[in-house]
Structure 1
Amino acid sequence: MADTKMDTDSLPGVVSAATSDLTNISPSLVENALAQALPLPDIMFGGSGLVFVIMFHAFWIRIITNSFLKRSHALRLGASLWRVDLLFAAAVLMMLALHLAEVVVWAGALVVGGIVGDWATGAYFAANCYTALGEPFSLPRTWRMLPPIIAMSGIFAFAWTASVLVNFVARYNQLRASILTRAQSAKVDRTIAP
C-alpha cells in the first residue's frame, strides 16, 4: 500500500496546476454543460407554444360550449330527435376540428422555428407527440424537451375536451328525454281526446 501522505512542499505546485487546469476550461464547454443541464431554448420555445395552444384551446372550446348550450336551450322548447342528434354530432366534430387545428399550430411552430424542414414532417411529428404516442424520430439534442411539452399540451387539451364532452352528453340525454316525454304526452293526449 502506498503512502498517501503529501509533502507540504509540493502543495503549492499542485494547487497551481489545478488552478491552471480550471482556467483553461473553454467557455463553450461550460455553455454546453449548462445547456445540457437546463435546456433553455426548447423550454422557452416549447413553453410559449404550450401557453399559446392552451389559450387557443380555451378560446375555441368556449365558443363551442356557448354555441352548444345556446342551441340546446332553443331545442328544449320543441324539436325533433334528429335535430338534437345533429347538434351533438356537430359539437363533437367541432371538438375534433379544434384538436386537429392545435396539431397544425404545433406543426407551424416546428416549421417556422426551423426545427423540422417541411409541413408534412412537422404535422406528423406534432400529431405523434400531441397524442402522446411518442416522437416518431429524434430531434437534435437542443430540442429534446419539446416532444414532452407538445405531449403535455395534448394531454391537457384532451382532458379539458373530455370534461366538456361529459357535460354535452348529459345535456344531450336531457334533451332526448324531454322530447320523448313530450312526444309520449302528446300521444296520450290524442288518445284521451274524443
Structure 2
Amino acid sequence: MFNLEAFALGCLILIACVLIHALFLLFITYRSKRELLVAVHKGQIAFIYLLFVACVLVLLISHMIQIYLWGVALYYFDVIHHFHAAMVYAGSTYTTVGFVIDPLPLQWQLLSVIMAVSGIFSFAWSTSIMFSISQQLFKTHQ
C-alpha cells in the first residue's frame, strides 16, 4: 500500500537528516584538516589519534540527532503513540539492526524503508570521511 503522506514525510525527514549530517561533516573536515596539519607539523602523533577519536564522537552525535529527528517525527505525527517506543524504533531502523518488531501501521511502513536508507547513506558518508582522515593519518607515519 503506497501512502503519499508517509512518502512525503519520509522524504522531508531524510532531507533534514542529510542537511544535518552535511553540517557535521563540514565541521569535521574543516576542523580536522586544520588541526591535523598543525599536529603533523609539530609531530604530535598522540594528538592526531585523539583528533580521530573526537571526529568519531562528533559523528556519533550527528547520527544520534538524526535518530532523534526520526523518533520525534514518528511520535509527533502519531505514527507511534509512545515517545520512547518511537525513539527505540527509530534507532533500530536507522541503524538497520532491526532489533524491534515493526510497530508501524500498514499505511506507514514505507517510513521504515526510508529511515533505513537514511541511516545507510549517513553511515556510508561518515565512513568515507573517516577513511579520508585516516589516509591523512597514514601519511604522517611515512
| TM-score of the aligned structures, taking structure 2 as reference length | 0.91
3-state DSSP of counterpart to 1:77:
helix
Q: For the residues of structure 1 that align with 2:34 and 2:65, how far apart are their CA atoms?
A: 24
Match of 1:63 in 2: 27
Q: Deviations over 1:90-110 (max 9, x none)?
A: 111111221112111111111
Match for residue 58 of structure 2 among 94, 118, 121? 94
Please tell me the root mean square deviation across aligned C-alpha atoms, in Å: 1.4
Whether the aligned pair in 1 keeps the contact of 2:40 and 2:48 (CA below 8 Å) is no
Match of 1:147 in 2: 112
Match for residue 110 of structure 1 among 74, 82, 93? 74
Q: For the residues of structure 2 that align with 1:49 and 1:155, how far apart are their CA atoms?
A: 14
Match for residue 40 of structure 2 among 76, 81, 88? 76
Q: For the residues of structure 2 that align with 1:47 and 1:101, how far apart are their CA atoms?
A: 17
Whether the aligned pair in 1 keeps the contact of 2:71 and 2:90 (CA below 8 Å) is yes
Whether the aligned pair in 2 keeps the contact of 1:41 and 1:142 (CA below 8 Å) is no
Q: Deviations over 1:109-145 (max 9, x none)?
A: 1111111123311111001110112352231122010
Higher relative contact order (Cα pairs below 8 Å, separated by 6+ residues): 2
- Which letter maps to 1:133? V
Q: For the residues of structure 1 that align with 2:47 and 2:58, how far apart are their CA atoms?
A: 16
Q: For the residues of structure 2 that align with 1:101 and 1:150, how far apart are their CA atoms?
A: 13
Identical-residue share of aligned pairs (%): 26
Match for residue 171 of structure 1 among 115, 136, 140? 136
After superposition, residues 33-44 of structure 1 pair within 5 angstroms as 36=1, 38-44=2-8
Q: For the residues of structure 2 that align with 1:163 and 1:85, how far apart are their CA atoms?
A: 17
Q: For the residues of structure 2 that align with 1:60 and 1:138, how far apart are their CA atoms?
A: 31
Structure 2 runs not aligned, ≥5 long = none
Q: For the residues of structure 2 that align with 1:75 and 1:56, how far apart are their CA atoms?
A: 28
Q: For the residues of structure 2 that align with 1:106 and 1:153, how far apart are their CA atoms?
A: 10
- When the two structures are aligned, how many residues end up with a matched partner? 141
Structure 1 runs not aligned, ≥5 long = 1-35, 179-194
- Which letter maps to 1:140? P
